[in-house]
Amino acid sequence: MDFEFTTEQVAFADEVQRFLDDHDDPEVFDLTRENMAQIVDTPKRRAFMKELGHKGWLGITWPEEYGGSEGEGVFEYILNEALAGRGGPQIGKGVGIIGKTLIAHGSDELKAEFLPMILENDVEFAVGYSEPDAGSDAAAMRLKATRITSDVDEDGWILNGQKTWTTSAHFAEWYWVGARTDPTNKHMGITLMLVPLDHPGISINGIWTMGDERTNEVWFDDVFVPDSRVVGEINHGFRYISQALDLERFTLFTFAPIKQRLDLLTEYVRTAQRDGVPLREDPVIRQRLAQLQTDAEVARVMGLKFVAEAVKVELAMKAGKEGFQPPTVVSSEYKLFATELSKRLADAAMDIVGPGSQLRVHTQDAPMEGRSESTYRYTVIDTIGGGSSEIQKNIIARRGLGLPKNF
C-alpha cells in the first residue's frame, strides 16, 4: 500500500488545520482530557461540531442520497486525527456507529428522522452495549426485551434491566441500545433499538472513573419501544454491533494523541537535567525513547493500513460486489497495539520524569504541567473501552490466525 497522501488529501488536511486555527477555543479543545476529549458534552462543543456539519465534513463518507459527499474513508481519517491532535471533539458515534448502521440497515422512517439531524449535529447519542455481566462480550448482554402487541397502539417491546459504562447518557438525547429479544440464541438473539433518554422509565446514575470523567449506569423499568424504533431485522443486532465496533475501535483510539504525548516527553528529555546531567545523555533513557518512537511509527502505519482496508471494502460495496467483510482483524490489531503502546508510553513518562510525574495535571510547576499522571490514569481505561485487550487478542487469534475457540 501507498503510505503517502495524494495532493487532494494534503489540500484537505491543510484546509482542516486552517479551520481549526480559526476556531481555536480552550473550551472546545483540551488535550488534558486525553481520549475523552472526543465527546461532545458541552454547548460550545456542540456548536463547534455544528460548524463542521455546515462545512459538509460530518457526512464526508456518506452516500450523496443521504446528504453525504461519498468521499473515501481517508478523508474522515484525516479530519478525525486533526481534531484528536488538538484535544477536540470527534465525529465518532453519530456519524460513524449510528449513522452508517442506519444507512446500511435502518428503515426509511429512521433514516429520514435521524440522518439529517446527525449531519447538522442536532442530536447526541449514547451507546448501550455493556452490562454488569456483559462488558467486552457484547453477545452476552441480557437487557430483557418482551414482545407486546396491541389492537390500539403500535406493537413493540418492553425493556427491563440495566446497562453500564454508558459514557454519554447524562447529556445525550437518544440511546442506541442492544436488547435480548431471543434468550435461546446468544449471537442471533439481540436487537438494536433507539430509545429517547428522557423516557420516564429510564434512570441514569453517574459513575466517576479514575480518569476524572463521568460514565453512567442506566436502568430500564418497563420502557416501551415501538417497532418503528427497531433498527434492522429482529435478532440481527449483534451482527450490526460487530460491524460498527470495527469503526469504533479505530476512531476511539486515534494516533494523534499518542504522538502528541510522545513529542511532549521527547522534548522534556531533550531539555531536562538530573543531578546536572542532561537526561538525553542517559543511554537507558535514549534506548527507551528510541523504542517508543519506533512503536509509534508502527502504530501510525497500522492505522493507515486499517484505512486502506476499509476503503477497499467501501469501494467493493459501492460496486455491488459480494463477499467483502469489514476489516475486523486489522481493526483489532490496531486497537490492541495502539492502546497498549499508550500504556507503555505512560509508564515511561512516570519512570523518566521521576517523583515530579505524580503531581496532578495542570500543576504549573510540575514537569510537563502534570500530563504524566493524567495520561497514566486514562490509558488504563483505553485498553478496556471498545473491547479489552484480551478480547482483541481473541479476535486476532480466531479470525486472523484461524485458531480454535478454546486454543
Cβ atoms 1, 304 nearer than 8 A: yes
Total of domains in the chain:
3
The reply to whether 60 and 144 lie within a common domain is: no
Please indicate whether residue 341 or residue 140 has the higher confidence score (pLDDT): 341
pLDDT of residue 320: 62
Q: What are 366-391's pLDDT values in tens digits? A: 999 999 999 999 888 888 877 888 98
The reply to whether 294 and 212 lie within a common domain is: no
Q: CA-based diameter of the chain, in Å? A: 83
The reply to whether 73 and 166 lie within a common domain is: no
pLDDT band at 319 (very low <50, low <70, confident <90, very high): low
336: domain CATH number is: 1.20.140.10
pLDDT at 170 exceeding the cut of 90: yes
pLDDT at 317 exceeding the cut of 70: no
Average pLDDT over residues 125-143: 87
The reply to whether 276 and 389 lie within a common domain is: yes
Q: pTM for this structure?
A: 0.89
Please indicate whether residue 212 or residue 112 has the higher confidence score (pLDDT): 112
Dihedral (C-alpha) 165, 169, 172, 177: value to the nearest 10 degrees?
Answer: 70
- Tell which of 202, 235, 268 closes a domain: 235
- Tell which of 209, 235, 261 closes a domain: 235
pLDDT at 265 exceeding the cut of 60: yes
β-partners of residue 180 are 144, 190
Q: What cell was used for 60?
A: 464526508
pLDDT of residue 405: 77
The reply to whether 231 and 261 lie within a common domain is: no
Residue 115 in domain: no
pLDDT of residue 210: 82
Using CA atoms, how far apart are residues 171 and 142, in angstroms rounded to an integer?
24
Return the CA Rg of the chain. Answer: 22
pLDDT band at 406 (very low <50, low <70, confident <90, very high): low
Residue 194 in domain: yes
The reply to whether 68 and 164 lie within a common domain is: no
Amino acid at 31: L
The reply to whether 22 and 154 lie within a common domain is: no
Residue 108 in domain: no
Q: What are 49-88's pLDDT values in tens digits? A: 999 999 999 999 899 999 999 888 889 999 999 999 999 9
147: domain CATH number is: 2.40.110.10
Residue 206 in domain: yes
Q: Are strands 230-231 and 273-274 parallel, antiparallel or unpaired?
A: unpaired
- Cell numbers 461532545 correspond to 40
Using CA atoms, how far apart are residues 394 and 318, in angstroms rounded to an integer?
31
Q: What are 281-299's pLDDT values in tens digits? A: 999 999 999 999 999 999 9
The reply to whether 378 and 279 lie within a common domain is: yes
The reply to whether 257 and 230 lie within a common domain is: no
Q: Which active-site residues does the annotation give?
A: 248
Using CA atoms, how far apart are residues 79 and 95, in angstroms rounded to an integer?
13
pLDDT of residue 248: 63
Residue 136 in domain: yes
The reply to whether 259 and 229 lie within a common domain is: no
Q: Which domain holds residue 61?
A: 7-90
